[in-house]
Structure 1
Amino acid sequence: MLSVAVIEDDPVQLELLASMVEDCLTDEGACVERCAGPDALVECLVRGFSPELLVADVVLGEPALAAEKGEGEPQTAIDLVKRVRALGADPEVVYVTGYEGYHTRAYETEHACFLLKPVEHSEMEFALGCALERLRRRAPRPLVVRARASERLVRPDEIVYLESNRRVVRIHLADEVVEAYGKLGDYEKRLDGAFVRCHKSFLVNVAFVSGHRTGELVLSTGDVVPVSQSRRRATQDALLEFLQSS
């Protein structure tokens, strides 16, 4: 199910936008959270809701009222998106605003579309379509695995580690092991930098590494995988690079 957050500080506009988003995403089975401002979105993140898509009003507050109170510029969704990404989330973003002057500032962050109010249903449908296409392009391509007499698709981010024994490669997922014929080196070429060849017989998804000690990696599943001396430095470098990019 697609997780979506709609951020708008005006209650009437919030309901209008959220209802339009729900209608446009009927076929996606989306879960749409209504957030009446930045704090409401942060609360959602704290309780574990991680939106894949944000539809956000750019200006969260009235510019004239903010100036009257001496508060300068009102808070913007552009700043909010920066905060959200700093917290580790990386949603696609559709900006909505009644102030055309923010069009340039929106490019301070990656976003799928920028809509001006009043938003037409067809415009929202187009913008969400762009955001969904960007999400699909970001999704890891599944591997085609030839297991026994059949073929199946396995998503790389579901793989904990792979081990080889002669011509058999055992692909360890969280809840099952898939056996296929082939060479571990061939799988290494097909998988991206999230995997490290820590041993001639083992290829590990670094996202599942919870710790390491001399000669082995400890995985979040409880498995322990050996690290050969010749591959120790490369394994440590791969772990460090993953931590810095996450």
Structure 2
Amino acid sequence: MKIAICDDEPIYIETTSRLLQKWAGEHGIEMQIFTYDNGDDLIAAHTDECMDLILLDVIMPLLNGIDTAAELRANGQDVPIIFLTSSREFAVESYEVKAFHYLLKPIDEIRLFAVMDEYRKQFCKTKETFTAQTVTGFYKMTIEEVACLEAQNKLVLVTFSNGTQITIREPFYKCEEIFHMDRGFIKCHRSYIVNLMFVEQFTKTEVTLQNGMIIPISRNNYAAFKEVYFRYMFQK
């Protein structure tokens, strides 16, 4: 997570950085903090670094925080912004530039942590993973990147959206418990599970994935597959 702090007072940069690192440590989040003492430098840096979040002082010489945020928005940047200020008088202006939050100085740890928790909930959707046993050890995969799974005797061949494949030593029934409909997967054949996200087209007998793979649909599974697929598409 890349976070920028922009404040012309070093003491507030130091305090805010320390609190953010504490919050990140408590949540096991890897964080990079970039600090700036003026809006112009922040704007230039954001263009290069693409920050995930900006904590921005409102009252600064030259380009103040509101004008800095307005320039970011004018440039098409929708990065979440938390304003830091010692005055409530800029609340309306912060709303106009679509600020995510507004914190009063001195920064209160409990309040900052609550805002960061809210930010994390809204913007940091953690990708679900599954760690499977392989022939050589273990492999941690991101579930949404799996295109399909194929049972091969006591092994399972996993194909990812980018075309790469890995063989895992897991029972197929266990894979069914992990790769289920709530996660966008469906069993279309006794030996196959597919990710609906990567389905290009299907007929009564087969599914074609976006990577060109063709997977059989069993006669008993076709009706359920068709129903689930269209429900999934309408909910996207």
- Sort the TM-score into its range (normalised by shorter chain): 0.5 to 0.7
- Partners in 2 of 1:41 and 1:180 — Cα distance? 49
SS at match of 1:242: helix
- Partners in 1 of 2:123 and 2:186 — Cα distance? 25
Aligned mate of 1:223, from 209, 213, 221: 213
Correspondences of 1:1-246 after superposition (within 5 Å): 2=1, 15-16=6-7, 23=17, 24=20, 27-29=30-32, 31-32=50-51, 36-37=69-70, 40=73, 43-44=76-77, 54-55=80-81, 77=98, 95-97=100-102, 116-118=103-105, 120=107, 122=109, 125-127=112-114, 129-131=116-118, 134=121, 138-173=125-160, 174-192=162-180, 193=182, 194-246=184-236
Query: Retained in 2: the 8 A contact 1:96–1:117?
Result: no
- Partners in 2 of 1:41 and 1:204 — Cα distance? 42
1:126 partner letter: F
- Partners in 2 of 1:206 and 1:42 — Cα distance? 36
1:177 partner letter: Q
Query: Retained in 1: the 8 A contact 2:204–2:219?
Result: no
Change (3 A) 1:37 1:145: same
2:121 partner letter: R
Q: Which residue of 1 aligns with 2:44?
A: none
Gaps of 5+ in 1: 7-13, 46-50, 66-73, 81-94, 98-115
What is the RMSD of the two structures over their aligned residues, measured on CA atoms?
Answer: 4.2
Per-residue CA deviation, residues 108-145 of structure 1 (Å, 9 max, x unaligned), is xxxxxxxx434727467514641475379952432221
- Partners in 2 of 1:213 and 1:41 — Cα distance? 48
Length-normalised TM-score, structure 1 = 0.56
SS at match of 2:121: helix
Length-normalised TM-score, structure 2 = 0.58
2:69 partner letter: A
SS at match of 1:230: coil
| Displacement of 1:180 | 2.0
1:212 partner letter: F
Query: Retained in 2: the 8 A contact 1:184–1:203?
Result: no
- Partners in 2 of 1:146 and 1:122 — Cα distance? 42
Q: Which residue of 2 aligns with 1:87?
A: none
- Partners in 2 of 1:140 and 1:123 — Cα distance? 27
| Bigger radius of gyration among the two | 2
Query: Retained in 1: the 8 A contact 2:158–2:166?
Result: yes
Name the count of aligned residue pairs: 184
SS at match of 2:211: coil
| Displacement of 1:213 | 3.3
Identity fraction in percent: 13
Gaps of 5+ in 2: 25-29, 34-49, 55-67, 84-89
Query: Retained in 2: the 8 A contact 1:210–1:218?
Result: yes
| Displacement of 1:196 | 0.7
Query: Retained in 1: the 8 A contact 2:149–2:194?
Result: yes
1:29 partner letter: Q
